[in-house]
Structure 1
Amino acid sequence: MRILCVAAHPDDEVIGVGGTLAKHVAEGDDVEVLMLNDGVMARYEAETSAARARRDDRRERARAVADSLGFEDVTVLDYWGNQLDDEALIDVVRDVESKLDSFEPHVIYTHYYGDLNIDHQIAARAVRTAARPLAGSTVDRILSFESLSSTEWAMPTAGTAFQPTVFVDIDEHFDRKMDALSIYEDELRESPHPRSMRSIRNNNQLWGEKVGLYAAEPFELIMERQR
């Protein structure tokens, strides 16, 4: 089975779905990750040498995470971080479609559409558009993951409540997820903060306890097609 994770930025793939990706690898599935941007360029007003150095470091860390979790291919596109709303959605959709055409995934994991972060919202919309359930599409399942410090910080409306319906047991892969997460140490925060090591660990353990597991990653099922 071929598994694709479409994330907005490096670190999103580990926080939201790292344990599940490691589990897919352990089960012999082919796993690839597509990231829409490096997530750091928005912190700079221009592409300075310091900005390029930070960007290159973030991309190197994304590749190190791929090695840590056990999958081979990670692609980081060149959109400017946290400004995807300045881009034509069709351009983002076409980039996702290109990946779908080349990799032909069966399952896609991507962001929750109600997240506070605009890049997350656009990633979710681009995936849903590119992976329409048309005849000939290989995609049979799309699941959205939560991103701590974005999903729970969304505007408090009925349409932004993350309501997971699928829970993946990651107990055997939990330590690998946390080791991979430490590679993004510059993006983590000290506790108390939802994007701290402590919070992420507790969150996965709490989701696990809610469904009778020791540790779990939660997903909202967006589309499933039975063949």
Structure 2
Amino acid sequence: MRILYIFPHPDDDSFGPAPVMWQQLQQGHQVYLLTLTRGGATKVRIELGLSVEAMGDVRYKEMLAVERVLGLTGMTVLDMPDGKLAEMDPREIEKVVETHIRQIEPQVIVSYPVHGVSGFHDHLVMHAVVKRVYLELKDSGADYLKRLAFLTLPNKTEQPLQSGKFLLKHSAPALIDCVVKLRPEDVEIMKKALSCYDTYQSVIQQANVVESVGDTVYFEIYQEDHSPPLANLTEGL
């Protein structure tokens, strides 16, 4: 099957989904990645003394390294304004995303849930755009589309306590439709993918990405209800 991941920024691919993407490739699926921005507006650029454009170039090169580590079937990185997707006409973003989907004709699309995990505006816009385009394509007869999934984190307690710099959003247990268990080799691939982001190592450490993901990755599946959850995103298709 063809699986398309759509995210707004560099490193979104490695903050959780990378080991699942690699696992899917090992299973014989075709895995594509579409990233809308080069992530040049990150505050890290100030520490490095780089302009938005120069930082975007650096992060794009880091993404090329991730592409090689994962062995992706295909990767496209656009240059939309980082941190400013909410200020754009959403129809412009939708047109670009729709064109890309039509070119690849994936059976499964993966993006962010309604809360965006981090709550960052670009993530929220990404969710709305992907959902709308998915539904409009389905309505227009795009029968190749079979499933829309959202990468998420589970809410394991009624009042989750969080510490540190990054306050993450969670999905209620009832919304979790797919739970992918990671093998040791999958976790190692995630570490290798994260290591490609040389300029983001301090952020990765502060976010405790590897520890937060652990050995399990969670997804919501749009308009589907699976209990018990599926073991992978292509199950039943």
Same fold (TM over 0.5): yes
Partner of 2:97: 96
Q: Distance in 1 between matches of 2:165 and 2:101?
A: 26
Q: Which amino acid aligns with 1:124?
A: H
Q: What is the TM-score when the length of structure 2 is the normalising length?
A: 0.77
Q: Distance in 2 between matches of 1:102 and 1:52?
A: 28
State the secondary structure of the residue aligned to 1:186. Answer: helix
Where does structure 2 lack aligned partners over 5 or more consecutive residues?
A: 154-163, 226-235
Q: Distance in 2 between matches of 1:7 and 1:88?
A: 18
Equivalences for 1:138-177 in 2 at 5 Å?
Answer: 138-146=144-152, 152-154=167-169, 161-163=170-172, 164-171=176-183, 172-177=185-190
Q: Which of 186, 191, 211 pairs up with 2:199? A: 186
Q: Which amino acid aligns with 2:21?
A: L
Equivalences for 1:15-94 in 2 at 5 Å?
Answer: 15-41=15-41, 50-94=51-95
Partner of 1:202: 211
The answer on whether the counterparts of 1:140 and 1:223 sit within 8 Å (CA) in structure 2 is no
How far did residue 88 of structure 1 move? Answer: 0.7
1:174-211 Cα shifts (integer Å, max 9, x gaps):
10111111111322336873x2xxx2222222xxxxxx
Q: Which amino acid aligns with 2:28?
A: G
Q: Distance in 2 between matches of 1:73 and 1:89?
A: 25
User: Relative to structure 1, is the Cα distance of residues 122 and 179 closer, same or farther in structure 2, using a 3 angstrom cutoff?
Assistant: same
Q: Distance in 2 between matches of 1:224 and 1:102?
A: 26
Q: Distance in 1 between matches of 2:88 and 2:41?
A: 15
The answer on whether the counterparts of 1:105 and 1:138 sit within 8 Å (CA) in structure 2 is yes
User: Relative to structure 1, is the Cα distance of residues 128 and 191 closer, same or farther in structure 2, using a 3 angstrom cutoff?
Assistant: closer
Q: Distance in 2 between matches of 1:131 and 1:151?
A: 30
Q: Distance in 2 between matches of 1:102 and 1:184?
A: 28
The answer on whether the counterparts of 1:42 and 1:80 sit within 8 Å (CA) in structure 2 is no
State the secondary structure of the residue aligned to 2:17. Answer: helix
The answer on whether the counterparts of 2:2 and 2:31 sit within 8 Å (CA) in structure 1 is yes
Q: Distance in 2 between matches of 1:192 and 1:108?
A: 29
State the secondary structure of the residue aligned to 1:138. Answer: coil
State the secondary structure of the residue aligned to 1:129. Answer: helix
1:65-100 Cα shifts (integer Å, max 9, x gaps):
011011142111121101101101111111110011
User: Relative to structure 1, is the Cα distance of residues 49 and 187 closer, same or farther in structure 2, using a 3 angstrom cutoff?
Assistant: closer
The answer on whether the counterparts of 1:21 and 1:31 sit within 8 Å (CA) in structure 2 is yes
State the secondary structure of the residue aligned to 1:131. Answer: helix
How far did residue 51 of structure 1 move? Answer: 3.0
